[in-house]
Structure 1
Amino acid sequence: MVELLAPAGDFESLKAAVLNGADAVYIGGKEFSARQFAGNFDRDEIIEAVRFCHAYNCKVYVTVNTLLRNDELLSALNYASFLYGAGVDAIIIQDIGFLKLLRENLPEFEVHASTQMTAHSLDAVNLLYDMGVKRVVLSRELSLEEIKHITKNTKAEIEVFVHGALCISFSGQCLFSSLIGGRSGNRGRCAQPCRMEYILDDKHRAYHLSPKDLSTLTFINEIVSMGVASLKIEGRMKRPEYVAVVVDAYKKALEGRLTSRDVENVTQIFNRGGFTSAFLKGREGSDMMSYERPKNWGTYLGKVVKVSGKFVDILLDNELSVGDGIEIFGKEKGAPVTSIKVLGENVESAQKGDIAQVFLEGAQKGDVIYKSLDAKLISSALESFKGKDIKKIPIYGKFIAHLSSDTKLLVENKQGVIGEAVCEPPQVPLKTPTSRGKIEEYLNKTGDSPFYFENIDIDMDENIALSASKINFLRREAIKNLLDNLQNSKGTKNISIVLKSFDKKIFPKIAVKTGRADIVKASLDAGCDVVFFGGDNLRINSNDYDETLNIFKENDKVYPLYPEIIVENLDKIKENALKIKSFGVNKALCGNMGLYSFLSRNGFDVYLDRGFNIFNSSALDAFENAGGILSLELNLKQLKYLIEKTEKSTLVTVYGRSKLMVSRQCIIGSSMGHGKYKCPNICKNSIHYIKDRKGEKFPVITDYNCKSHIYNSKILCMIENMRDICRMNSDYIVLDFLDESYSDAYLTVSAFKEGIIKAEKNDFSLSPDMESLLYKLKGNITKGHFYRGVE
């Protein structure tokens, strides 16, 4: 049976999910959660959440899906030990180093790989499974066919998102919020810059990065038929009423009971101009996006046909009731409906076709009105988890009372889990004996517990006396014992780990990353030590296959570079890698987990690129790798501490226009109104820009598979800070070139080479080339996170 998995940002949302039919919930704790602005659960609340959910045969998964620094690993492990001991069914994680330590220290705890791990290929899923992950949450960019291929060819359980907000970027690979505002999505503090307004190429103002929410209600059975294990609803930041409505609708859809009213309710509770199937059925182009408004739209109500002061007449296209909320579309003005008049008469509700007069300031004739809140829907949702008739779980009871032995109550749920309570034997009655009916009456007073007795078998002597307090005690204790057994507490294990220190006193070499042949030549001419060539296959770069192969043949310092996102052409890339290997090339820089698995199996010594989010030394040690590029979100102190704790080679990026995100959506073509099938390739061979409210321009470049790559408005450059850079003791500093010219690249490599040579002599003054580089970049430099880091 496929699992319906619901979000719960607080206890009210958890109840809403469970009581409306969720098979499992995922929650975040106050510690290490990727939704730090949700209500979240402290440790006592997590214990109570497990207790409540398990009573309803509902599983609980806890998210620890953030990147972890070295100094946080032990705390995170002990927190995981608490979760395991509290009976949590699985832990959802992002950090690959944390995964390694979990398998070593809590091998019995079920681990799910968060979508933040960016698993989007069969190889990646199988690698994670081999590393001890039971379930993988796939990237939301995959099609039904791509998901089906993975599901049919892996032993791992597959979880897919079926409803809720979408990131425009591949999750786990977005640095937009982090680098422009210091709030990291990888640390649970995303400021959602994708929901801001931008101007594309100084012409088109819109919410260019804001997708509609995903909905699969109408084709959920197609997803189920592929054999996925779990259907995930997004929304830990949403209200409990939202959770109730959406979970209820999906439960009905899975059981074949979905109605058009359910679909309308889901739309009313939250949508951004309708819904999208995202990439499940192929690219939707402009239809996927909510260009006009990034927030909840509600549902279309009608148009203003008359304005009388602060009151308006609306020709209704939908029902309107007192208590609803309405809004003027595009004006961010609205009001609660406190009264309605139809034909001059006060009414509680008005119907489609009526002209309803309501209070609404700021409206003009012809304005479009949306219903932003439906009072009846909210009331119905609240009733489902706070009303008098909320769902309870049937249990079976056996009551035993004989004068010759202790009095017992056994309770059992449908899964066969038992709770028991015992007290002293009954007494001989002085007057009236206790009747079977009275015993049953007291036992049935299950009150605030999640249970009711479907049947009670009473085995008793006829002439006995039992007080009401004794019977109530037995009922309470038996149910408490049942809840204890259902919770499946295991006890907390104290964990200790020791991270070795390695005494490193080295000056770095220079590594270059580029996708351009002319930059390879410039970098080698200027004296760099190694070049990683390839990457994202951007349209601004050459796509000449023979030219690419010749570069590897002719230069023994050049190694292939593979990007973090590879959805299309994976087989061709593997074939290409084997050809490069045949030239004697034995090293590669790779950001893609699935391709890493292939490369390492085929004899490459692989360095891990930014796609692996190396945030701690354990992440480097999790793989058989040569080393890796450390996260751009670590500051100098954190980088130095990480480097001290690993024997692997470490690479630190000190120059380049940092990539903020990769999107499978063609931002340029879609923003121009182009849909699924036809696109005039307006993005071809050129760099576009989106400009924010502060006037910062972020380059947007597409690749040959129509993915969009957005880069920082400023260029990271640490040439003034060679004292700090060289004292980190990293093996390499990385210069990442995008659209620089030959002369730009030559100057940059020369400047950093001179900086290292001078640092070796304890000279940290600026050479002419270093000064020239600073002058060239004047006003366009960022120090990234080197001196701030992220929380």
Structure 2
Amino acid sequence: MTAITREMVELLAPAGNWECLRAAVANGADAVFFGVEKFNARARADNFRMDELPEIMAYLHKYGVKGFLTFNILVFEDEMEEARELVDACIDAGVDAVIVQDMGLVKLIREISPDFPIHGSTQMTITSPEAVEFMKQYGLEVVVLGRENNLKHIKTIASKTDTPLEVFVHGALCVSYSGQCLTSEMWGGRSANRGECAQACRLPYDLIVDGVQKEMGNIAYLLSPKDLAAIDLIPELIEAGVTSFKIEGRLKSPEYVANVVSKYRKAIDEYFEGNEYEPSAADMRELQQSFSRGFTHGFLEGTNNKKLVDGTFPKSRGVYLGTVKKVLKDAVLCELEAPLKRGDGIVFDAGNPQEKEEGGRVYDLRRKGRKIEGEVQDGLIEIVPGRHDVKLSRVHVGDKIWKTSDPELDRRLRKTFEHDRPYRPFPLSVRVTGSADNPLVSIWRDDKTGGEVTVVSEVNLEQAMKRPLNGDYLYEQWGRLGGTIYELRELELSLEGDVIVPVKELNRMRREAVERLMALREQPRTYIRREPKEREALHIRTKASRAAAEAPKLISLCRTMEQIHASAQTDVDYIYADFEFTRDYPEAVAAARQHGKRIALATPRIHMPGEQGVLNGILKAKPDAILVRNTGALQYFKQAGVTLPLFGDFSLNIANHKAVELFLEHGLTKVTPSYDLNIQQMVDMLRVSPTERIELVIHQHLPMFHTEHCVYCTFLSEGTDYTNCGRPCESHRVSLQDRIGMSHPVRVDIGCRNTVYNAIEQSGAEYISNFLELGVREYRVEFLEEDSDKVQEVLRLYREALNGERTGTSVWRSLKATNQLGVTRGQLVK
């Protein structure tokens, strides 16, 4: 691994609007990421307009900052032309890179330009060297690793690639793997893969263990992680191979951006200046003040399930002040643990954040009844809230007190970006030549960008009678660069004889040089653009002839041996095994072979460094095919020369025909579309895709959350991870009960990752006729907890529908009648 230099390291800041953009620039960001209109993963942010791109990039480049456009969502078939227009606009405006999730979009961009920079979003779920290698084939300049990668993983990945690695270091954490959360999609048709996350992880849940609700006290937010703050890990991350440090927060305020960027800027600079850096207590309080649900290192130091989730509140609290010791007539008594002053905002936390909480502004501070001026650092203090803000009758001894706002801090932060300015002035070098009766020639160089301009005096040099031009004088005149982004760093003077030129002319030359250098900075970066071809001729499918087409195939995905045996005794064409413990795969293969059935084994949804043994175990079980769930596994099998058929699963997030093409070209035998598609979006894609190589899931419990956070370890064990948890997942069954009483099963995979499945089964039975007409021939039914009788009943219903012996509506009605919780159409009808 190449040693990382200061020039290689980039601090990347979020910007949801112009104020945030300015705050990032003024406080030391090397790059900014932002979205425009609908094609980004923060639909609720203010965002920018596409026609603002030239202005945005000119502004950023003026101050030496790169601009990355977030294009990190799945793109549906009917949006591909709009996507092309946005890519063209980015190229025209000189955007420094687009951050992309959708592999179909990657393919589209490479068709437009071979060198336009693409960054792989964390939504791509890139967590292993193999996944990085997969992306490298498509010319990705940077990949953003999954937030679940720890320092050891990062070091391993960095040692096996020369692709720059980007890591999130601050901000909100998703409890689910990015790109693998389907909860918002399932419950509200608001896909996280479309920038519309409804934050279901921040809701309260009851823990159901073996069918009985577990008493959890005031812990209700079982899936709501604390916020990431890795400022003290900057040295370790650089030494592990990270070159881009990403701050989350396109929905946050400009004060938040200014605060966080300035502190991480300092941490990075201190490292490269060779100084030991430890953020001060005041620094950490200020970070908490801007936004904090409590801070954690996330998974960077490894999995510690006890530290990731607090469970008592789901929203930003700010700075902890202490607890109420006594409620007085007009005040509360508190042993302060952090500074407080008049005007600060506070809230009283009684341990039930779902109910209205008392809070407001601090009106006065007293010590033993005597008023205190200024800020109080600590001690036993009487806090007097505004009389109309807080009902003290609703405040109790023991309530926690949090400082929710600090107007003075906000004012200080706002001053940093009230006026456009660079974080540091940029150095200029000037070379000067001239002689009497000839012009003064100056070559000005922007040392940051390498841009050069030549400025020539409009009057000739004259012989000096006294005080001829010299270096000190020129340095003084041309060094007057206040109000610009520059500072004069070096002046090289080569004059013949004693000459002079009017100071007015020197000032004009300085102004011209600065203006022209600034214009060079603001010029858009240029890229190679391929010659536009005729619009691709898409083969539009209408109705396929059933008589001529191959008979539809039925596939059963099983999660228990009982389901394997039950499925093998039906007329299913294929069996998939998706077990919690892959050690049971050989038995599943033997059972399928016993009944003459072909069987595919599923890889885990996530592939981490050092987990090749799981993939090798799948190969040793000698299945007929492999169900591939991530790009790392796909790359591993291809590099190993595996000749078994490889089937691409839903987790590859295929949402358009270009993504279908890309994965089929990469060696997959067939693919399963993303669960983000509704029926119209599915039909749109199928009409222009090779449906003979597409498999649809028509029945399942939707896998909503997929997370490194283990509910079993966190709440049923004294341990912190798989090494000391005692494996409660092997002896208990857990589900999460939501606010309407639905219990969603939680299952564990071989990597101790949890999947939370929707309580209600989802069926696409009513759309089978549509899919058959479009030529789809492979249909999957997935089981979770069903017994053998239920498995065979469900498979019989779907087989009859595929054979035309009953309607999809009939299947739907039968399922609805026999299932205790009924059945849902899920995202297909959003």
TM-score computed with the length of structure 1 as normaliser: 0.89
Aligned twin of 1:335: 360
2:699 aligned with 1:662: no
Distance 1:401 1:371, change over 3 A: farther
Tell whether 2:808 aligns with 1:776: no
Counterpart for residue 393 of structure 1: 425
Q: 1:427 and 1:468 mapped to 2: Cα distance?
A: 12
Which residue of the partner structure matches residue 519 of structure 2? 481
C-alpha change, 1:598 and 1:346, in structure 2 (3 Å) is: closer
Amino acid in structure 2 at the alignment position of 1:250 = Y
Q: Does 1:412 align with 2:449?
A: no
Q: Which residue number corresponds to residue 451 of structure 1?
A: 486
Deviations for 1:483-508, whole angstroms, at most 9, x for unmatched residues? 235x4355987856415215461553
Map 1:142-153; keep pairs closer than 5 Å: 142-153=149-160
Q: Which residue of 2 aligns with 1:505?
A: 544
- Please list the CA deviations of residues 679-711 of structure 1 after superposition, one character each: whole Å capped at 9, or x if unmatched: 243332543221222222211122343221101
Distance 2:422 2:630 in 1: 47
Partner residue in 2 for 1:547: 587
Question: Would you say 1:367 and 2:408 are equivalent positions?
Answer: no
Check if 1:38 corresponds to 2:45: yes
Distance 1:293 1:722 in 2: 44
- Within 5 A, what are the aligned runs for 1:205-244? 206-244=220-258
Say if 1:602 and 1:313 are closer, same or farther in 2 by CA, change over 3 A: same
In the alignment, structure 1 residue 298 sits paired with structure 2 residue 309: no
Q: CA deviation at 1:16?
A: 2.4
Q: 2:265 pairs with 251, 259, 264, which one?
A: 251
* Counterpart for residue 549 of structure 2: none
CA distance in 1, matches of 2:808, 2:619: 45
Please show how residues 646-685 of structure 1 align to structure 2 within 5 Å: 646-647=689-690, 649-672=693-716, 674-676=718-720, 678-685=724-731
Report Cα offsets for 1:79-127 as digits up to 9, x if no partner. Answer: 1232233222222110011112222321111211111111112211111
1:702 aligns with 2:739: no
CA contact (8 A) 2:345 2:359 kept: yes
How many angstroms apart in 1 are the aligned matches of 2:826 and 2:749?
Answer: 25
Q: In the superposition, relative to structure 1, how do residues 295 and 442 fare at CA in structure 2: closer, same or farther (>3 Å)?
A: farther
Which residue of the partner structure matches residue 132 of structure 1? 139
- What's the offset of the Cα at 1:631? 1.5
Runs of 5+ in structure 1 lacking a partner? Answer: 430-434
SS of equivalent to 2:448 = coil
Give CA deviations for 1:43-89 in whole Å, capped at 9, x if unaligned.
Answer: 35433333333334332222111001122223223312322332222
Letter of the 1:220 partner, please give it.
I
> CA 1:403 to 1:148, structure 2 compared with 1: closer, same or farther past 3 Å?
same
Q: Which moved more, 1:744-753 or 1:444-453?
A: 444-453
Equivalent residue, structure 1, for 2:284: 263
Residues 417 and 482 in structure 1, CA contact (< 8 A), matched pair in contact too? no
Offset of 1:476 from its aligned partner?
6.2
Deviation at 1:636, TM superposition (A): 1.9
Amino acid at match of 1:570: E
1:432 is matched with which residue? none
Q: Distance in 1 between matches of 2:545 and 2:697?
A: 17
Task: Answer whether contact 2:699 2:761 (CA < 8 A) is retained.
Answer: yes
Cα contact 1:403–1:427 (8 A) shared by 2: yes
Q: How does 1:517-532 map to 2 (within 5 A)?
A: 517-532=561-576
TM-score (normalised: structure 2): 0.85
Structure 1 residues 739, 40: closer, same or farther in 2, change over 3 A?
same
SS state of the match for residue 126, structure 1? helix
Counterpart-to-counterpart distance in 1, 2:399 and 2:170: 31
Query: 1:447 offset after TM fit, Å?
Result: 6.9
**Residue of structure 2 in register with 1:561 after alignment:** 602
Alpha carbons of structure 1 residues 353 and 64: separation in structure 2 relative to 1, 3 Å:
same
Q: Does 1:637 align with 2:680?
A: yes
Matches within 5 A, 1:18-97: 18-97=25-104
**CA distance 1:468–1:734, change in 2 (3 Å):** same
What pairs with 1:151-166 in structure 2 (closer than 5 Å)? Answer: 151-166=158-173
Q: Give the Cα–Cα distance (whole angstroms) in 2 for the partners of residues 111 and 411 of structure 1.
A: 33
Question: CA 1:479 to 1:8, structure 2 compared with 1: closer, same or farther past 3 Å?
Answer: same
Cα gap change, 1:71/1:301 in structure 2, threshold over 3 Å: closer, same or farther?
Answer: same
What CA distance in whole angstroms lies between the structure 1 residues aligned with 2:237 and 2:288? 21
Unaligned runs of 5+ in 2: 463-467, 547-551
**Residues 403 and 426 of structure 1 are in contact (CA less than 8 Å); yes or no, is this contact kept in structure 2?**
no
Indicate yes or no: 2:670 matched with 1:627: yes
Comparing 216-225 with 249-258, greater Cα deviation is found at 249-258
Q: Which moved more, 1:51-60 or 1:687-696?
A: 51-60
What are the equivalent positions in structure 2 for 1:707-746 lying under 5 Å apart?
Answer: 707-746=753-792
In 2 relative to 1, CA 674–8 (structure 1 residues): closer, same or farther, beyond 3 Å? farther
CA distance in 2, matches of 1:765, 1:243: 52
Aligned partner of residue 665 in structure 1, secondary structure: coil
> For the residues of structure 2 that align with 1:775 and 1:451, how far apart are their CA atoms?
75
| Residue matched to 2:346 | 326
* CA-CA distance at 1:779 after TM superposition: 4.5
Structure 1 41/543 Cα, relative in aligned 2: closer, same or farther at 3 Å? same
Match of 1:627, as an amino acid?
K
Report the CA distance between 1:374 and its aligned residue.
2.7
Aligned letter for 1:64? F
Partner deviation per Cα, 1:284-311 (whole Å, 9 max, x = no partner) = 1122102111111222213334434453
Structure 1 distance, partners of 2:379, 2:94, is 55
- Paired letter, 1:783: R
Task: Tell me which residue corresponds to 1:287.
Answer: 307
Match of 1:378, SS state, is helix
1:343-382 correspondence runs (5 A): 343-345=369-371, 347-359=373-385, 361-362=390-391, 363-382=395-414
Distance 1:164 1:745 in 2: 44
- In the alignment, the residues of structure 1 paired with residue 481 and residue 113 of structure 2 have an alpha-carbon distance, to the nearest angstrom, of 37
Higher mean Cα deviation, 472-481 or 595-604? 472-481
Residue 597 (structure 1) shift: 1.9
Change (3 A) 1:355 1:118: same
Give the Cα–Cα distance (whole angstroms) in 1 for the partners of residues 785 and 343 of structure 2: 56
1:563, distance to aligned residue in structure 2 (A) = 3.3
Structure 1 counterpart of 2:292, one-letter code? N
Pairwise CA distance, 1:154: 1.7
CA distance in 1, matches of 2:618, 2:750: 18
Conserved 8 A contact 1:683-1:702: yes
Partners of 1:441 and 1:464 in 2: CA distance: 14
Contact residue 747 and residue 773 of structure 1 kept, 8 A: no
- The Cα RMSD (Å) is 3.4
Deviating more after overlay: 588-597 vs 108-117: 588-597
